Structure 1
Amino acid sequence: MNKNKILIVEDDIVFCKLLTRFLTKNDFQVLDAQAGKEALNLLESNSFDLAILDYRLPDMNGIDILKKIKGKENNTKIILMTRYGDEGIANKAVSEGADAFVSKPINPTELLEVIKGL
């Protein structure tokens, strides 16, 4: 599967930009958002092969965004990021259609392996 266009939704700006730079260097086209509303605006005007969603955002949670993506574009793969210990949230995300989840703190190289495995 071609996963060239990625949406990252992460409210920690430094971490978000770190992931964006890392994935761009690995030949992905990446757009990012720091809030759910901003992500939904990007989804209105773009189609993504993959979305990497933080669960905890200032204005909504990652599962809300996941549902919007799956309602619009069912081919988009979803990775949900949760803090270590949030396995219940991760299980809910998978039941809602997430393809994978990763626990924070995230090692970018390990995230790249998850992406390649989708």
Structure 2
Amino acid sequence: MGTNEDNYNVTILVAEDEESNFLLLKTILKRHCNVLQARTGLELLRIFEEKGADMILLDIKMPEMNGIDALKEIRKKNSQIPVIMQSAYAFENDMEAARAAGSNGFITKPINIVELKRTISKFLPQITW
């Protein structure tokens, strides 16, 4: 854990197994909130259980447990937290499955920074860009 953890009141948990994608998100977010990383669906559930978060950015394609299944598990415990799905392949059936499982939104990769910030601000208006 970095020394700058909990500099902010807001924590976003990013479930992303591709390091380059995570680093891009972290670069965008780190000046505005705490950023936690989970590399697999199971790790996401563990970190969320241990540390909590104010929002989850959740990749659909991940090892051990995909994003849709991880989302279903999170929704069993917490119906309030905003969960934004992200995927390079925005297939209609993925988006449908994500909505059915309780996602709050969908971002396609490559990440559009403007779209990302707008989506986050909708749920976390306290973050100022």
Measured in 2, the distance between the counterparts of 1:108 and 1:13 equals 17
- Alpha carbons of structure 1 residues 85 and 69: separation in structure 2 relative to 1, 3 Å: closer
In structure 2, what residue type is equivalent to 1:70?
R
Measured in 2, the distance between the counterparts of 1:66 and 1:85 equals 17
In structure 1, what residue type is equivalent to 2:64?
D
Cα deviation 1:73-114 (Å, max 9, x = unaligned)? 221101001224412101111121100001111122321111
1:11 pairs with 2:5: no
Is the radius of gyration larger for structure 1 or structure 2?
Answer: 2
Cα deviation 1:25-79 (Å, max 9, x = unaligned)? 2x11110111112212201202211100000002111011111211112211010
> Structure 1 length as normaliser, TM-score?
0.88
> Structure 2 regions of 5+ residues with no counterpart?
1-8, 124-129
In structure 1, what residue type is equivalent to 2:97?
K
- Runs of 4+ in structure 1 over 3 Å off: none
Instruction: Please list, as runs of the form range in 1=range in 2, the aligned pairs for 1:1-118 lying within 5 A after superposition.
Output: 4-25=10-31, 27-118=32-123
How many residue pairs were aligned?
A: 115
> Structure 1 regions of 5+ residues with no counterpart?
none
> Structure 2 length as normaliser, TM-score?
0.81
Measured in 1, the distance between the counterparts of 2:45 and 2:90 equals 27
Instruction: State the superposition RMSD in angstroms.
Output: 1.5
In structure 1, what residue type is equivalent to 2:49?
E
- The structure richer in strand per residue is 1
Measured in 2, the distance between the counterparts of 1:16 and 1:40 equals 17
